[in-house]
Structures are given as C-alpha cells and as structure tokens.
A and B are shown apart, each in its own frame.
Chain A
Amino acid sequence: MTTAIDVRGPRFSAALTFAVLAIAYLTSTLWLVALQVAVFAVAALAGLRWSPYGNLFRLLKRRLDWGPPPATEPEAGPRFSQQMGLLFAGGGLVALLFGAATLGWSLVLVVVGLSGLLAATGLCVGCEVHALGARLRRSSTTGSTTSSGEGA
C-alpha cells in the first residue's frame, strides 16, 4: 500500500529544487520556475516513482554506487511536501505571469527556503505538517483506548 523510499532521495531533490529556484530568482528566469513547477506536478500527482529528480537520484545512486539506504521512509510525507511545493511554486508562477512580481517571487522564495532547509538538515517541514495532520486525524477518530508495545 505504502511505498518506502530512500531518505536520501528527498534531500537530493530538495538540493536540486533549491538550486533551480535560486538561479531562477537571481536571474528572473520564468521558464526555470515553470520547469520546477512541472517537476513538482509530476511527483505530486503521479507519485514519487515518476519524479524526474527522484529518477536522477536513482540513476546516480546506481552509477556512483552510493550503497544501500541508511534508512527508508513512507512516500506519503515527501509526496505531500511535493504537493505543497506545487501549490506554492505554481501559485508563484501564476502571480509572475500576471505581473505580480513581489507576490510571485515571495511564494518562490518560500519554496527556496524550505527546500534549502531540507537539503541542509534533513528537516522536511511539509512532512512534519503531514505527520501532524495524520496524528490529529487519528487521535480524533480512534481516541486513547489502544496501546502498543510494538517496535517503531
């Protein structure tokens, strides 16, 4: 049901996202923003398996022999983050196309900041938001009756 992915994948993708959008901002290059929005759209809508950056990561991993994943994580959190990226970068692109430069680049910079944070620290804010949402939904539906001694 849930696909587990190499935890290094999202960090690699975040580093690329950071670079692409930072260069787009520095040089006011709209087509680079559009390219990033397209990358987000594929990963967010079709799944991380189809992510262009994810596939580049897997290709490099095989070619350069980066070894087995240090840990894996379910796809849901990172995929939610890609959807958030699509929302912010896509909104930014629309704003830029309609001439709202300040709003558009501000939205792009949000993505630059969060992807930079993920690349540098491994902290994925979108994943945290997704996990928090899942916890809130779960605790409101199941209550506190169950207990678990199982491993994490």
Chain B
Amino acid sequence: MIERAVVLAVLVVLIAAAALLLRRREGRVQPVEDEVSFDRHGLGVRSGRGALVAITAPGCSACATAWNVLQRVASARDDVDALAVDLADRPQLVSQLGVLRVPTTLVVDAAGTVRHRVSGVPTAAVLTDLLG
C-alpha cells in the first residue's frame, strides 16, 4: 500500500512537471533564421503585405482559438492578412520549418519571408509586437 502510494505520488509529480513544461512552451516565440520564403500563390494574399499564417490540422480545437486571435490582430490593421493552412497541404513548408505542433503561427513580413514562429495559441499582444 505504501509502496503503491509512492508510485502514484511519483506519477502525479511527473504529470505536474509535464503540465508546467507545456504551459511554459505555450505561445513561445522563436525567430526563424533561415531564409524561408512563404509561397503565397493561391492563398489569396496580396504582395507587399505581411501575413499571419496559422498552421492547423483537422480536429484541433486549439487551432480554432488561434485562428480567432490571428483574425482579430489582422483585422485591426491594414497591412497584414491572416490565413490558415492545413498541415497536410503544405508538407514542404512544414518539414522546412520543422513544425511539430498545431497550431503554429508564422509571422511573415511584407517581402514574403518567414520571420518568427509561435507555437501553441498566441496572444494578440505578442503578434502585434512581432509585426512591428
């Protein structure tokens, strides 16, 4: 009984550690150093404008939350578009950037270069800050 209580306690500590790690990673911003050009063709983005790109997957409820944030940020300014792409539709982009998680948000500048990526659900303040 005591031995089992210890095993359970260890398990609970592990879960708590995983929860803390996940919380810290949520909304984490990473700069994208490689020159990754985001192909805008067929996505309805006008050139000369920045973009917020949500990488999503079917059945991902956090993606819908992230998409709402992106739309809110983009609609509040006139130089940025928001768009969403399905992970499975852009395997090249996904492997080039090493996207492992949905939602991931890409911050694309007016020249079409990916500048930052945010994993998890981003906050509007962080996105506005990254767009400059």
What residues make up the interface of A, taking CB atoms closer than 8 Å to B?
Answer: 7, 22, 25-27, 71-74, 76-77, 109, 112-113, 116-117, 120-121, 123, 127, 130-131, 134-135, 138-139, 142, 144, 146-152
Contacts and interface: CB of A to CB of B under 8 A. Distances in A.
Nearest to A120: B19
20 contacts: A26-B1, A26-B5, A27-B1, A71-B61, A71-B64, A73-B59, A73-B60, A74-B58, A77-B59, A109-B7, A113-B11, A116-B12, A121-B18, A121-B19, A121-B22, A131-B102, A134-B58, A144-B92, A146-B89, A148-B84
Q: With a 10 A CB-CB cut-off, give which of B7, B15, B92 has the most chain A CB atoms.
A: B15
A94 B23 CA distance: 37
Contacts of A131: 57-60, 102
Given A149-B43, A149-B84, A152-B84, A117 B19 contact: yes
A138 B98 CA distance: 19
B59 A147 contact: no
A73 B61 contact: yes
Contact of B91 (A73, A109, A144): A144
Contacts of B67: 151-152
Contacts of B23: 121
Interface of B: 1, 4-5, 7-8, 11-12, 14-16, 18-19, 22-23, 42-44, 54, 56-67, 71, 83-92, 102-103
Nearest to A2: B59
Contacts of A150: 84
Q: With a 10 A CB-CB cut-off, give which of B57, B61, B85, B87 has the most chain A CB atoms.
A: B61
A47 to B, nearest CB: 16
